[in-house]
Every structure is written in C-alpha cells, then in structure tokens.
Structure 1
C-alpha cells in the first residue's frame, strides 16, 4: 500500500467533478441513472486516499475548500437564475424544490467526503460539511430571497383568511426552510417571518374589528371572534411552527377582544348587562371562554356582573319596602318579609348557576356575587335588618302551622340556603339574637314542627359561623330534652309521694340561665292552687340537687282553665298571668282595675295586656265598664257568665309585646362587651400599640360576628382608659399602653 503513487490534486479533483456532475444531473431530473455502490465506493476511496497521503500530498484543506466551492458554483449557475425569474406562489414552489434538492446534494456530497468530516474537520474544529452546505444556501439563496418568500407566504395567508383555498402543504414546506436554515436556532423564522406575520395579523384583525364593532351585536361579534381564533389555531396546526401559536392568538385576542372590550360589553341592546337580563347562557359562556384567555379580560365582566346583581337585589329591597308601605299581603301567601327572603334565595340560586355554569366557578365571579349580596343584604328592609328577616323566615319554616307547607327536603334546602345568605350579612350577632328569641318560643310553647330540622340548621350554622355562634342555641335544645326526662321523674315522685300531689296536672320545664334569652321574672301573687303546685315541684327538685336555685318565669307559663258559662263548660288555654286574673273572679263578682292590680301584684304594662286580652279582644270573658276598646285605670270588670262559643276549647293569646327594641338593645350591650374584650385581649398581647393599628386589629377580630363602628370602638377605648385597663402614652397621645 505504501508504494502507491500519490494522487495529484488536479487529477483527483477531476475525478470528483465527474461524480458531482452526475449528482447535478440526477437532481435536475434528467434520465441520468442513479449511483450504484461501485460509483459511491470509488468516490469515497478517492477522497480517503487524497486525505491520507503524506505531506505534501495531503489535500484535506484544498478538498474542504473545493467541496464548498462546488456547492457555491451550483447555486450561482443553476439555482439562483431559476428562482429570480419566478414570482409569488411559483417562486415558493421553486424554492421548496430547490431546498429539497439542496439537502439531497449536501447529503450525497457529505457521504463522498465523509473521511474529511471524521478526521480533518474534527481535528481542526471546523464547521461540518453538512453545516457548510446549509450555510451556502443560507448566504446565497435564503438571504436573497427570504423577503420575497415571506411576502408571498403572507399573501397566501391573506387569501385563506378571506375564504380562499391555498396549498397548505406548500406553506408548511416553505416555512420549514425558515426554521431549518437556523440550524437549531429559531431566530431566522422569528425575525424574517414570524415578526411580520404577527404585525400583518394585528393589522388585518384591527380592520375587521373596527367594522364588526359598528355593524354587529355583541353575540354576533363574539361568534366571529371565536371562529377567527379557531381558524388561527388550525393555521398553526397545518403550516405554522407550533411556537407561533401563543403569540399569534395573543395578537388576535388583543385586536378583536381587548381593544374593543368596553365597547363590546356595553353595547346598547346586546351587551353584557342585556345578556344577563335576558338569560343568554350560551352567549355568556362564550364571553367567558373568550375573555378568560385574555390577561385581565374577565375583570370588566366581573364588575358588570356585580353591578347587575346589586341592581336586581336593590330592586327586591325596594319591592319589599313598597309592599310594607301598602301592607299588601302577597297572593302566594306569606308577608312581605317572607316573600323578600324567598326572592333573595331565588336570586342567589339563579346567579350561582351563572357562576358555576357560564363562568366555570372562576374566583372573580364568586367574589362579584359575594360583594353584590353584601351590598343589598346589609341595607335596611322596611325598618328591619336582613339578619332579622332571615331569622323570621327560618321561624316560619320551622314552627307548626307556618305559612309555608314544604316537604322535608324543601325545608332542608331552604335552611341550607338561608345559612348561605347569612354569610353575606355583617350583623350575624343580630341574627343569632333574633333566632334565639324565636327558637325559645318554638321550644317553650311546643311550636316546633320537627326536632330534626331544628338540629340540622344548628349544624349548618355551626359550620358557617363557628361553635361559639350556636353554643347557646344547642344548650336550649338540650334543655328541652332534659326537661322531658325531668318531667317524667317528677311524675314518678308524685306517685311515690301522694301527699305532695297538688291535685292539678303540672308540667315544669327547667331552663339553664346562660342559654336562654333573659326573661323578666315578676313577683306575681299566685292563686293558692298554683302556690301548691310550685311548692310541690320545689320539694321534688331539692331531692335532685341542693345547689341550684329555681327562679320562676311566670310570663312564659300557660294554663288550661275551665270556665262555667251557664250550661256550657269551655276550656280556655291562657297564660299564667291571665289564669291568675280569672281565678280572682271565683271569689268576687266585680273588681276594679286597681283591685286586680293589687291582688296580682302586676306591673301596669302587664296588667293592661292581661285585661285587654280578656275583655276587649275576640273572646270577652270579662265584661268591662265602661265598654271601650282600651283598658284604663278607672275601669271595672265582672265575669261574663253569658259568654259562649261554638268551640269547647279556645286559646286566648296575650297581645304581642314589641320585643324588637329589647333585642336590638341586648345586641348593642353585647357588642360593647365584645369590643371591650377584644381591645383588652389585643393590648394584653401587644403591651404597646398605636391607635390606628388597635382599631384595625379590633375590627378584624370582631368582623366575623358584626361590623364594629369606629366611633363605638373609640368610645370603648376612652371607657377602658377611665377604668384603668389601658393608658395613653405621655409623649404620644396616639399610642396606648396596657395596664396589668
């Protein structure tokens, strides 16, 4: 082998040129037969030999340069002239063909010159033969033609956008050149094509949007926009590079959706408010789909949604005000308060469906719904607060004979929804107090329709507002259960101790002071029959416990009294005060107002209500002189023996007292205590704190139950300073110190 005569450069290159000429003929589609393995081996071996000869016959560098020159010659002589004479789509077709041929040429030449790549190129850290081949095309063809190619591609895309048919495969191939020419980098595709495409797209859709926003309704505009975005996505899938999708859609969204968002949402007869009013679920869902992809695109829709709900809710408040003014009972049954709460529940249900179905439970819309309900549910409604109305609504559902005849499921559902509404009410403590008052009446007067429902709503309230919120109410329900057990023990005691039996049926419910609303206990002079009952129960109770003191609340008691009216006996269900007054007439025929008052030892306001119920109301058991509709201090009363009624049993209620004022006062008092406790708690842990920070922390601590008023907090701070819990800093009056 070593004796072999070296191949001279000229001789070797002539042989290589023959191979290269054959390759060009094959590429130009002549009938040239393809390379066989012998041709290939000869060409490969020639290069091998010329690269492995000893100096000065090692022609590696010259062959490397000649390889490049061969490609350059072919491009200059054959490729560029053809490309320059073609235009538009025809030029793109030619470019695609030339690029495809060029890659074949480089592949074959790289095989022939393979030995160069493996040793010479690697040792000298030169560009690979493949890279050299591509660089030639880039510098000589691509740089010359890319601007024309880009224009031609954009022209075709425009045709397609306007509804024309184009050769998508051609575009895919041409754009492939922009990508491949970067040899692993995307800068040529991005700079030479994509940047122009994005500007072109923005201009195109800006023109479209400007005319659509004038001509089309909001739903039509959104349909067109959605269709355009879908088509642009398809465009990427068919021929653009995947990396363009996000940028392209962003430009389209910007021009179609963002630029005209306010105009679109506020279109006079078809904007967002109109879609909400007309219940256009599909259009609203489309609006969400489109704008959820635009940065901050949902914010203005959230604002409109909130305004719309606030307006609808405020209209309900106004309706309730009007109904209260005209005192019109609703045809569907129930007072204006019941109707109001029922309508608010329906409103909440309706908009919750929007939030979940149209707006896919997005936080913006949950927040809008919450804030809107907070606005109108914290307004006064016909002199009452929403907290009070919700408590009345629950009472109406839970008591026997409430105006709503509902199935168990419907009751559960309504209670669930009331508790959800309560979350929006800032005066939760007011609800608790009204609810507790009404619960006490249901429990004590056996008005509750179903124990399970009573427990169920307490569980719901506990989950929503915390254990402290319901602890007293749960205590009340438990007291009633214990009361029933206690009663059966009392009955057993009477059987075992017949001497203790008062001779009357007696039911006593023992209540735990802390759980129940505070009741006024009076020193009523009980008739002797009742005194025996009270003593009898006291003896029984002492056998159970020595440490508890019984305090009797006669105002909550009820009695069944038999009245003999001529030939007919009528059983009367009355309160303890009423019963005591009636029993006075067993020993006297005629009594004055003051005599009755003295014998019963009742306060004037209670006495007036008792006598009013017995002499001026539906059942006139007592005859009043002089006859009038109100009771005065100079009246006299006699037993009306001529009274009769078709029923054998009648209930004589006392005129209702206005408890509302007392409940509101109780709540105010509790709030003062709560603010005091909160301030002391904060100061105890912080020792020194600024005024503003103290206020902020106090509001934060209390806002779960009520919204404390700044003035009220300020007043409590002053009060705590006078009571030496905290003091003002000598230097800085805005600073407070805790006094242990």
Structure 2
C-alpha cells in the first residue's frame, strides 16, 4: 500500500497509525508464524509502508521514542501470549522441546518486527546518548532491545532449568540415545544469542558440558581398559573424538571444540599413553612386528595432539628400539648362518 503525502498527513498519532495501517501487517506476520515459522517474512511492500509512516510522522511530530515503544510493545505482547503462557503448564519431559520451539518463533517474529521498524535503527537508535549513570554513550539497537524482553521475562527465571535439561539430553546422546538435534540447536542458541558476551554460555552451559564430559569419559576409559583390548580401546577413543566434534558442530559453540579435545586428550590418552605405546600385547613394537600398520596409524592419529615428549617422542623411541633389535637379530642370524652351513657339510 503506497500512501500519498495527503494520506500520511491524516494520521493523527502512533495509535492511529497502528490501528489503521500497522496492526493488520503484524496480525498477518503472526498468522504466518503460527502456520510455519520458517517461511514467515515481511514483504518489501510492508517494510516500505512502515518506513514511510514512521519517517513522515517522526520528521513532522518527533515521535521516534513513541514508535520504539510501539515496536517493543508488539514484541512484548507476542512474548507474553506465545511464550510465557505455553511454558506455564509444561512437565519436565516436554519442557525443552516446547521452550526451544517458543524461542524459535519469538526470534523469527522479533527479527521480522525489527525489519519493519528498521528506520528507527537507521535514524534514531544509531545515535548516542548517556547510558544510565555511565559517562559512556550507548543506545541499544532495536533487535537487542527485543531479545532482552525474552531474556528478562523468560530466560532469567528458567536458566538453571534449561541448562539442566540440555545437559541431560547430552548425557543421553553420549549413552547412545538419539535426540532431537534441531531442538538442541535452538535451546543452546538461547544462551548464545541473548548474551553477546557469551558469559552465561561459558560460565554455565559450557562449564557443565565439559564437566559431565570429563566424568563420562573417565568412566568409559576405566571400563574399556578392564573389559576390552587396547586396540578396541583406541577405536573407542577415536569414536569419542569424532562424536564430540560432531556434537559441537551440531549445536554447541565452535569455541568449545578445542576445550573438549583437551579434556578427551587428558582423560583418555595422557593417563594411558605409556600403556598404549609400551604394552607387551599391542604396543608399538608388537604392532610393528606383526605388520599392524592400520593400528599403528590409529595410535599416531590419537597421540599426535599430545605434547611431543608425552606422545610422539615415546612412540619414536619404541620405533627406534624395534629397529635396533631387528637390526641386531638380522646381523646375528647372518653371522651364524655360515657356521651352520659348514656343520651341515661335514
């Protein structure tokens, strides 16, 4: 809908603009999200409609603050009706699933509203102003203001519960249970998107993730070494590295990748590296003697991430020892071969 200057001049105030032109667009966005959040969008025509109305009225009547308040009321109303209410009567089993869905819907809706009100960011919220009692100048963009509504109304009171559910699902996945990856991605995204500093993610979710990983793999190493061969243990270690890397890619933060690698190196390999390399049953020398090149390659892949003096150097020393012994045995056999030949001739 393209409005003429004359039509724009008939709009009395923000409430009038909302009732006559803006509310029908927002209602349509809500209907789209209810039907299929992933396809919900604001058309260029509607973005232009909002932009023309906001710019015209703000230049004429200086209503920047009032339009910011309207945008946030729209987001707040959606948060109350579409997020707070559905979460009130949830049981533990369905909590994280519904919570993740609510966050996905809220984020999509908030982003669409911000695109409709984008002229506020360009013309008003990009300006600086004193922030509370600080001497620094700061003004949040509309999107961050919208996200803070969800953070203050939903996340703050439920953060421990959400964290517990996420970590419990990860425990299940480590034990072989198939979980909903999309749900986990949305749930973890709450910690990352709502806190640009990632403080909540690092201090709460990631801390618990790494601690539970340490406990799980300490127990796995103990049981595997008691009930399986060292070769089977190495295969389990390699699978653990692959699964944890995939888990990070699926729904955790990429900065966690190195941290989980260090924990796996410590609890699976550093504590057992001497046993793996020097074992009389399947250490380096035994694997070389029986041409177990695939297992040697697996051992090298695992320990090359450790400090050289902890892993690769020890493996090299065993390799040198094997070569010395092999060379000595070869020289000894060649030296005595003629003697045995002469004895046979006599």
For the aligned pair, the TM-score class normalised by the smaller chain equals 0.7 to 0.9
CA offsets, 1:463-494, max 9 Å, x none? xxxxxxxxxxxxxxxxxxxxxxxxxxxxxxxx
Q: Is residue 11–residue 17 contact of structure 2 (8 Å, CA) maintained in 1?
A: no
Provide the C-alpha distance between the structure 2 equivalents of 1:107 and 1:175, rounded to a whole number of angstroms: 18
Q: Is residue 83–residue 94 contact of structure 1 (8 Å, CA) maintained in 2?
A: yes
Q: Which has the higher helix share?
A: 2
Corresponding residue number in structure 1 for 2:55: 48
Q: Is residue 230–residue 276 contact of structure 2 (8 Å, CA) maintained in 1?
A: yes
Provide the C-alpha distance between the structure 1 equivalents of 2:110 and 2:175, rounded to a whole number of angstroms: 40
Whether 2:233 is the aligned partner of 1:228: answer: no
Corresponding residue number in structure 2 for 1:203: 215
Relative to 1, partners in 2 of residues 1:330 and 1:15: Cα closer, same or farther, differing over 3 Å?
farther
Task: Report how far residue 209 of structure 1 moved.
Answer: 0.2
Provide the C-alpha distance between the structure 1 equivalents of 2:44 and 2:319, rounded to a whole number of angstroms: 76
Matches within 5 A, 1:189-200: 189-200=201-212
Corresponding residue number in structure 2 for 1:127: 140
Q: Is residue 288–residue 298 contact of structure 1 (8 Å, CA) maintained in 2?
A: yes
Task: Report how far residue 212 of structure 1 moved.
Answer: 1.3
Q: Secondary structure at the match of 2:164?
A: helix
Task: Report how far residue 73 of structure 1 moved.
Answer: 3.9
Provide the C-alpha distance between the structure 2 equivalents of 1:283 and 1:38, rounded to a whole number of angstroms: 63
Q: Secondary structure at the match of 1:29?
A: helix
Whether 2:336 is the aligned partner of 1:330: answer: no
Q: Secondary structure at the match of 1:91?
A: helix
Q: Is residue 213–residue 260 contact of structure 1 (8 Å, CA) maintained in 2?
A: no
Whether 2:147 is the aligned partner of 1:147: answer: no
CA offsets, 1:613-665, max 9 Å, x none? xxxxxxxxxxxxxxxxxxxxxxxxxxxxxxxxxxxxxxxxxxxxxxxxxxxxx
Task: Report how far residue 87 of structure 1 moved.
Answer: 4.9
Corresponding residue number in structure 2 for 1:464: none
Provide the C-alpha distance between the structure 1 equivalents of 2:104 and 2:148, rounded to a whole number of angstroms: 15
Relative to 1, partners in 2 of residues 1:23 and 1:190: Cα closer, same or farther, differing over 3 Å?
farther
Relative to 1, partners in 2 of residues 1:89 and 1:179: Cα closer, same or farther, differing over 3 Å?
farther
Provide the C-alpha distance between the structure 1 equivalents of 2:279 and 2:166, rounded to a whole number of angstroms: 37
Whether 2:31 is the aligned partner of 1:22: answer: no
Task: Report how far residue 206 of structure 1 moved.
Answer: 0.8
Corresponding residue number in structure 2 for 1:118: 122
Q: Which runs of 5+ in 2 are unaligned?
A: 130-138
Corresponding residue number in structure 1 for 2:134: none
Q: Secondary structure at the match of 1:165?
A: coil
Relative to 1, partners in 2 of residues 1:156 and 1:35: Cα closer, same or farther, differing over 3 Å?
closer
Relative to 1, partners in 2 of residues 1:82 and 1:273: Cα closer, same or farther, differing over 3 Å?
same
Task: Report how far residue 163 of structure 1 moved.
Answer: 2.1
Task: Report how far residue 254 of structure 1 moved.
Answer: 1.9
Provide the C-alpha distance between the structure 1 equivalents of 2:101 and 2:338, rounded to a whole number of angstroms: 86
Task: Report how far residue 290 of structure 1 moved.
Answer: 1.2
Instruction: Name which structure has the greater RCO, CA cutoff 8 Å, separation 6+.
Output: 2
Corresponding residue number in structure 2 for 1:70: 74
Q: Is residue 42–residue 116 contact of structure 2 (8 Å, CA) maintained in 1?
A: no
Q: Which runs of 5+ in 1 are unaligned?
A: 334-740
Whether 2:259 is the aligned partner of 1:252: answer: no
Q: Is residue 229–residue 252 contact of structure 1 (8 Å, CA) maintained in 2?
A: yes
Corresponding residue number in structure 2 for 1:159: 172
Matches within 5 A, 1:235-384: 235-296=247-308, 297-311=311-325, 329-331=338-340
Relative to 1, partners in 2 of residues 1:88 and 1:254: Cα closer, same or farther, differing over 3 Å?
farther
Q: Secondary structure at the match of 2:177?
A: coil
Provide the C-alpha distance between the structure 2 equivalents of 1:37 and 1:282, rounded to a whole number of angstroms: 59
Q: Which has the higher strand share?
A: 1
Provide the C-alpha distance between the structure 2 equivalents of 1:123 and 1:224, rounded to a whole number of angstroms: 56
Task: Report how far residue 166 of structure 1 moved.
Answer: 2.0
Query: Which structure has the larger Rg over C-alpha atoms?
Result: 1
Q: Is residue 27–residue 101 contact of structure 1 (8 Å, CA) maintained in 2?
A: no
Task: Report how far residue 98 of structure 1 moved.
Answer: 2.0
Provide the C-alpha distance between the structure 2 equivalents of 1:316 and 1:304, rounded to a whole number of angstroms: 18
CA offsets, 1:248-277, max 9 Å, x none? 223222211111222333445333443344
Provide the C-alpha distance between the structure 2 equivalents of 1:129 and 1:281, rounded to a whole number of angstroms: 60
Q: Secondary structure at the match of 1:330?
A: helix
Relative to 1, partners in 2 of residues 1:85 and 1:264: Cα closer, same or farther, differing over 3 Å?
farther
CA offsets, 1:294-321, max 9 Å, x none? 2232222233334444455566787799
Match of 1:175 among 172, 188, 194: 188
Matches within 5 A, 1:28-107: 29=34, 44-54=51-61, 58-87=62-91, 90-107=94-111
CA offsets, 1:82-122, max 9 Å, x none? 22433556333323322232233223322443332222223
Task: Report how far residue 140 of structure 1 moved.
Answer: 2.8
Whether 2:230 is the aligned partner of 1:218: answer: yes
What is the root-mean-square deviation of aligned Cα atoms in Å?
A: 3.9
Provide the C-alpha distance between the structure 2 equivalents of 1:317 and 1:84, rounded to a whole number of angstroms: 82
Provide the C-alpha distance between the structure 1 equivalents of 2:237 and 2:289, rounded to a whole number of angstroms: 23
Task: Report how far residue 207 of structure 1 moved.
Answer: 0.6
Q: Is residue 172–residue 239 contact of structure 1 (8 Å, CA) maintained in 2?
A: yes
Task: Report how far residue 17 of structure 1 moved.
Answer: 7.8
Provide the C-alpha distance between the structure 2 equivalents of 1:104 and 1:268, rounded to a whole number of angstroms: 60
**What is the count of residue pairs matched by the alignment?**
324
Relative to 1, partners in 2 of residues 1:93 and 1:15: Cα closer, same or farther, differing over 3 Å?
farther
Provide the C-alpha distance between the structure 2 equivalents of 1:294 and 1:133, rounded to a whole number of angstroms: 45
Provide the C-alpha distance between the structure 2 equivalents of 1:42 and 1:281, rounded to a whole number of angstroms: 69
Relative to 1, partners in 2 of residues 1:220 and 1:109: Cα closer, same or farther, differing over 3 Å?
closer
Alignment TM-score, normalising by the size of structure 1:
0.38
